[in-house]
């Protein structure tokens, strides 16, 4: 029987300790670390709560509880505490995502209360690269300009729908999603090859810390797949990301997406961890 130890809600007084813990795994924790570095731990700014396991000065595990539920460095005892808090609070997230074993244990405890899930992606290889790709970069992949938002948006919606299985325009009509797409363009983290008003290839740098960044939203127009655009496009994104953002470029991908995994390997990525995602 696991010893029940309560988790606690963290605040900005815990910021330095939280970041020190997050930085022990800069690739696996890049999403949460980027969020904390950007806005701190105040729930109103964070868009959720950060739960800690362990006393102040002795934090061992974290769980970001916002739009996603993301365990960090969470062993069985921490997972038990986080699941207990999540169950009592009720489901407010659209997914549980993170290291495979921690997510599996979380879902084992939460499924009786939160289930069924819409989909579960049990094995999502986490991949990373620290050097320029061994293949030539596509010279036509560049930062998307703000005036190209209307060209890029349909490709983003198509990517999201294909990847997640539901349109980002469901619910609020896509307002939040459009805002995020526009923000990534504005801050120079949206890349694409655009020809004759059509997106050929696109990807975004979704999360950035001084130690790592994470590529998301990789997409090639369906009519142009299998022609090498993904490999050359990713080589270009890696080159830009290493130059402009962080010394490690990472991503995670569904294990069943063999073409994508092969393209990432050709672009220089290697598998370093495994995530699991539970989607609602």
Q: Give exposure, 154-190, as e/b (b: 16+ Cβ within 10 Å).
A: ebbbbbbeebbeeebeeeeebeebbeebeebbeeebb
As averages over each run of 10 residues, the pLDDT of the chain (280 residues) reads: 71 97 98 98 96 93 97 98 97 97 98 96 98 98 98 97 91 91 98 98 98 98 97 98 98 97 98 98
Using one digit for the tens of pLDDT, what is the confidence trace for 158-206?
999 999 889 999 888 889 999 999 999 999 999 999 999 999 999 999 9
Instruction: Say what the pLDDT of residue 138 is.
Output: 98
Task: Give the mean pLDDT of the chain.
Answer: 96
In sequence order, the 6+-apart residues with CB closer than 8 A to the CB of 269 are 127, 128, 129, 234, 249, 251
Q: pTM of this prediction? A: 0.94
Instruction: Quick: pLDDT tens for 48-79.
Output: 999 999 988 899 999 999 999 999 999 999 99
pLDDT of 3: 47
The reported pLDDT for the residue numbered 42 is 96
Q: Which of 57, 68, 71 is nearest to 20 (CA)?
A: 57
pLDDT of residue 220: 98
For 228, residues 6+ apart whose C-beta sits below 8 A from its C-beta are none
59-88 CB burial, b ≥16 within 10 A, e <16: bebbbbbbebbbbbbbeebbbbbbbbbbee
How many whole angstroms separate alpha carbon 127 and alpha carbon 190?
20
**pLDDT value of residue 2:** 43
Q: What is the pLDDT of residue 117?
A: 97
Burial class (CB in 10 A: 0-12, 13-18, 19+), 53: buried
pLDDT at 146: 98
The values of phi and psi at residue 51, to 5°, are -95, 140
pLDDT of residue 171: 81
């Amino acid at each position: 029987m696991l010893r029940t130890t309560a988790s606690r809600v963290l605040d900005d007084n815990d910021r330095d300790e939280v970041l020190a813990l997050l930085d022990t795994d800069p690739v696996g924790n890049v999403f949460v670390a980027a969020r904390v570095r950007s806005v701190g731990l105040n729930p109103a700014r964070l868009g959720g709560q950060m739960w800690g396991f362990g006393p102040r000065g002795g934090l061992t595990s974290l769980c970001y509880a916002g739009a996603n539920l993301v365990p960090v460095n969470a062993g069985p005892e921490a997972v038990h505490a986080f699941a207990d808090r999540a169950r009592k609070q009720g489901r407010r997230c659209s997914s549980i995502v993170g290291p495979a074993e921690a997510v599996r244990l979380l879902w084992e405890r939460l499924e009786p209360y939160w289930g069924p899930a819409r989909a579960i992606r049990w094995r999502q290889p986490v991949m990373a690269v620290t050097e320029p790709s061994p293949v030539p970069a596509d010279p036509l992949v560049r930062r998307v300009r703000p005036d190209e938002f209307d060209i890029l948006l349909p490709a983003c919606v198509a990517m999201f729908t294909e990847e997640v299985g539901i349109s980002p325009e469901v619910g609020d009509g896509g307002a939040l999603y459009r805002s995020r797409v526009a923000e990534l363009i504005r801050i120079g983290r949206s890349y694409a090859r655009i020809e004759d008003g059509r997106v050929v290839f696109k990807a975004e740098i979704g999360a950035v810390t001084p130690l790592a960044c994470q590529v998301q939203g990789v997409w090639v127009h369906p009519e142009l797949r299998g022609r090498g655009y993904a490999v050359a496009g990713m080589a270009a994104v890696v080159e830009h990301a290493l130059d402009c953002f962080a010394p490690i470029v990472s991503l995670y991908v569904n294990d069943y997406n063999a073409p994508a995994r092969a393209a990432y390997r050709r672009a220089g990525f290697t598998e370093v961890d495994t995530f699991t995602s539970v989607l609602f």
